[in-house]
Structure 1
Amino acid sequence: MLASVAGASYAQSSVTMYGVVDLGLKIENAGSGRVVGIDSGNQSVSRIGFKGTEDLGNGLKANFVLEAGFNADNGSQSDATRFFNRQSYVSLSGGFGEVKLGRVQTMVFTNSSVFDPFADTLAGDSVRIFNYGGSRIDNTVNYSFAAQNGINGQAAYSFGEVAGSTSSGRTVAGAIGYASGPIAAVLTYQNTNNATATDSTKTTLIGGNYNFGLLQPFIAYAVNKGFGTLDTRDSLIGLKVNLTAADTIMASYMHKSDKAISNANANQIALGYTHNLSTRTNLYTSWARLSNDDNAAYRVTAAGKNDNLFNVGIRHKF
């Protein structure tokens, strides 16, 4: 028994350093005049990361991810308050799935590629209209699994860490999905309490896509309720045109419907194109126009304004 323990403790581990540098020209008018400049992270947030795996035997593995975002156009951290601002977790994985502890992706963000042809990137990014509840969340226990029959799922609990209360600032989330052959679908739910546990924000989203080969249509619908008078509906229809292994066209239309505030809806139409120069490097361009009703102010400087966004650039992964 002692020999087996010693053998496990000296099991070989692997550590990988990786990253993304994404820079491009960005032209945007969010209601206060056109801004032209070089922007970092149009398609993917520029980042540097470290990940590792140790084989513990019997199918069990220990894993970790530490990932820091940065602004490649000026060299600064993308979050000045923390270095590993993207993901920072340790996990155990095996035949049962994976259990993560730390800062991880939120439930809607994790599944964005299932329902969004832009997969949370470029000017068509669904987060410009949809309520993601953020892209990362702290102090989380996350369990995920993927079964051989195509069913996959997640459950997460994020501690609010408020003295004297286990419910203040707490987030509970879950997802169930199916991915097999050309079809992928997901149903997600996230419930976040405020700092005093007197109110909460709830988002329920269902979406999916079907890959016909050349054409790949997407659809999504979400219900958002909570904090104060929040009562909105988000909808999306989209399409990817897989021209070649290297060339992809994306398009989407999104609509935000506000049930609590009159004349506060929003719409966005977007187009995008990517071309792979290699397995690590690609070119991209995209355009979006987001139109707000008189009482809506999504992605703009004042209510009723429109946002016009264009970018073109290059992304390199290492």
Structure 2
Amino acid sequence: MKNKSIRHALGGTALAALAFGAGAQDVQIYGIADVYVGSVRGSSTKTVVDDGGNAASRLGFRGREDLGGGHAAYFALEMGMLVDVGTTAVSSGFGRQAFVGYRAPWGSLEAGRQYTPLFFNLLATVPFGMNVNWAPVQMSTSMDGQPAAVRALGFPLRQSNLLRYRYGGGPNAKGLNVDVVAAPGEDATNSGDMVGFGASYRGDHFFIGYAGQRIDSGTAAVTKFRNEIQGVNGSYTLGAWTISGAHLVSDSSLPGGRRAAHTVLGLAHDAGPHRWMLEANRRDLKGSPNDALAIALGYDHRLSKRTALYGRLLHLSNRGTASNALAQAVVNAGSGDDVRAVALGVRHNF
């Protein structure tokens, strides 16, 4: 995305103080404003004006100082925004990202609230990105036979207190990328401790990756358990077409917890300002009839490098008494109700 760059002129302003107060560094303000109008049907039907049908709205600050010899210091502070109501989102404050990093020829070190390796690998693969509202890969559940503690933990793709070592330029850069992370829960019971690993390789026309993460949960009053998520994913581009796939497995050591597998297939076609997308995710809950299938169709019309109009169609089929949801639909627990949604929106980058 294009960003507004602020160089040297910040002087002694508050923003410059956030950016280490270094006069020679490059500081940027960036963001996304995205709102859509739609109709969503789950256990009930509603007309909505909501945020983030293409990408979640956000406001961020990032900066970088070149220290010479391939060394650099950098930071990012990013908050979630709900443009439809004018408030912040994602834990308020800079809940999307807040970290500082150091780059050297041997790799990068980062510390703070960040995305996990699994998030970055999936973001580089699936057609709808990691849009929490409409991307089938983000299918979440409120009740499908999993214990309450497992459901509350969900599918964590951000982590506070995260320490990261990365070799390579990230999943969007060509070549090998290796990502190793760990985070202390800062709790006497070790609740919230997390470790993760990711590796990927991007060629001229293909991408392949693996990522896994493990997080401890529970308290003295609740049985301690360990939740693990692993995923392999890849894509191949031939001309204007890109086909992609991912297979994710989450498992829990909590008594009564079930293994859940997600099989995701995607297809995208880019032609000039037009982009068509199709994505499907089948959720299979081991030893249970409460499975689900989500299918989304999307169209983006790029008016410029900054602005796009888009349309979305979604169908999510819950089986048994599952109550998975997308598009912010309300699905009553244990109802097995399906989700259908349609939306038209606009996204603007700055």
TM-score (norm 2): 0.82
* Alignment CA distance shift 1:251-1:129 (3 Å): farther
Show the 5 A alignment for 1:55-204: 55-79=66-90, 81-121=91-131, 123-128=134-139, 133-146=155-168, 150-163=175-188, 165=189, 167-196=190-219, 198-204=224-230
Q: Contact (CA 8 Å) 2:242, 2:267: kept in 1 or not?
A: yes
Tell me the CA shift for residue 291 of structure 1.
0.6
Give the drift of 1:220. Answer: 0.9
SS at match of 2:34: strand
Cα deviation for residue 232 of structure 1 reads 1.2
For 1:112 and 1:310, the matched residues in 2 are separated by 24
CA distance in 1, matches of 2:342, 2:117: 28
Match of 2:284 among 249, 257, 263: 257
Structure 2 unaligned regions, length at least 5? 1-20, 142-152, 326-330
For 1:284 and 1:103, the matched residues in 2 are separated by: 31
Distance in 2 (CA, whole Å) between partners of 1:280 and 1:298 is 33
> What letter corresponds to residue 238 of structure 1 in structure 2?
G
CA distance in 2, matches of 1:10, 1:88: 18
Q: Is the 8 A contact 1:101 1:140 kept in 2?
A: yes
The correspondence for 1:233, drawn from 250, 255, 261, is: 261
Structure-2 change in CA distance of 1:249 and 1:219 (3 Å): same
* Separation in 2, partners of 1:317, 1:248: 17
Alignment partner, residue 145 of structure 2:
none
CA positional deviation for 1:10 = 6.8
* Gap change, CA 1:90 and 1:10, over 3 Å in 2: closer
- Residue 310 (structure 1) shift: 1.5
- The CA distance in 1 between the partners of 2:186 and 2:129, in whole Å, is 32
Partner of 1:115: helix, strand, or coil? coil
How many Å separate the matches in 2 of 1:36 and 1:215? Answer: 34
Measure, in 2, the Cα distance between the counterparts of 1:53 and 1:238.
Answer: 35
SS at 1:111's partner residue? helix
Give identity over the alignment, percent. Answer: 27
> Is 2:197–2:211's contact at 8 Å kept on the other side of the alignment?
yes
Higher relative contact order at CA 8 Å, sep ≥6: structure 1 or structure 2? Answer: 2
Counterpart residue identity of residue 282, structure 2: H
Q: Which residue of 2 aligns with 1:210?
A: 236
1:301 and 2:332 correspond: yes
Contact 1:114 1:186 in 2 (8 A): no
Asked whether the equivalents of residues 34 and 55 of structure 2 are also in contact (C-alpha less than 8 Å), the reply is yes
Structure 2 residue 328 is the aligned partner of structure 1 residue 316: no
Moved over 2 A (4+): 121-125, 129-135, 195-198, 300-303
Supply the distance in 1 between the matched residues of 2:247 and 2:125 (Cα, whole angstroms). Answer: 9
Task: Say what the alpha-carbon RMSD is for the aligned residues.
Answer: 2.1
Deviations 1:26-55 (A, max 9, x none): 211121x21112111111111111000111
Q: For 1:84 and 1:10, how far apart are their aligned partners in 2?
A: 21
5+ residue gaps, structure 1, are 1-8
